[in-house]
């Protein structure tokens, strides 16, 4: 097989579209994190599909609409410790794809202004492509014990 034929076969393979979709899914998670860090309810809501579900301590919290979510305003950040400055991804991994639904596991860390980790959580996100846009539809997480004060909700 010539180089040109090999390249054509590679470009026609399903691996390229999947890699592009994976990038879009991870970008949706980056948009979510930057929305959280912005402390702006509108920007934060931009990263979510509605209805939006959060599994917290074995119970679902549902936000039926963007308007109801945004109406919570700054209370969306009540769970963050006072010394929290920003949150970063520690790791993320796509673990399952079912059509336009992707499950991503990971860990995020809350940091103070000096960059010290003050809290981490293991998380699961359900990222869905709807109307051509990848956004977070549902999420769940587990706080890690032994770090600065527990939180009531997950980002």
Q: What is the pLDDT of residues 45-92, one digit of tens each?
A: 999 999 999 998 788 889 999 999 999 999 999 988 899 999 999 999
DSSP assigned state of 62: E
Task: Let me know if 16 is exposed, middle or buried by CB neighbors in 10 A (0-12, 13-18, 19+).
Answer: exposed
**The pairing of beta strand 48-56 with beta strand 133-143:** parallel
Tokens of 26: 């991870």
Buried b (16+ CB within 10 A) or exposed e, 44-61: bbbbbbbebbbebeeeee
Residue 42: count of CB within 10 angstroms of its CB: 11
Higher pLDDT, 144 or 20: 20
The whole-number pLDDT of residue 23 equals 96
The whole-number pLDDT of residue 149 equals 38
- Listing DSSP states for 69-124 in one string gives HHHTGGGGGTTS-TT--EEEEEEEEEEEEETTEEEEEEEEEEE-TT--EEEEEEEE
User: Cβ(121)–Cβ(142) under 8 Å?
Assistant: yes
Query: What mean pLDDT is reported for the chain?
Result: 86
Provide the 3-class DSSP secondary structure of residue 142: strand
pTM of structure:
0.80
The whole-number pLDDT of residue 2 equals 64
User: Cβ(93)–Cβ(22) under 8 Å?
Assistant: no
pLDDT, mean of residues 125-141: 96
pLDDT, mean of residues 107-126: 96
Tell me the C-alpha distance between 97 and 39, whole Å: 30
């Amino acid at each position: 097989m010539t180089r040109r034929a090999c390249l054509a076969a590679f470009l026609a393979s399903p691996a390229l579209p999947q890699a592009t979709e994976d990038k879009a899914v991870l970008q949706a998670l980056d948009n979510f994190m930057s929305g959280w860090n912005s402390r702006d309810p509108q920007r934060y809501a931009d990263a979510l599909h509605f209805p939006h579900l959060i599994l917290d301590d074995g119970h679902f919290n549902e936000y039926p609409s963007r308007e109801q979510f945004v109406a919570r305003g700054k209370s969306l950040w009540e769970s963050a410790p006072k010394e929290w400055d920003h949150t970063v991804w520690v790791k993320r991994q796509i673990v399952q794809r079912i059509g336009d639904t992707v499950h991503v596991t990971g860990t995020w860390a809350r940091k103070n202004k000096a960059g010290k980790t003050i809290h981490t959580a293991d998380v699961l996100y359900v990222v869905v492509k709807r109307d051509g846009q990848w956004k977070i539809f549902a999420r769940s997480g587990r706080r890690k014990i032994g770090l600065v004060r527990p939180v009531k909700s997950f980002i």
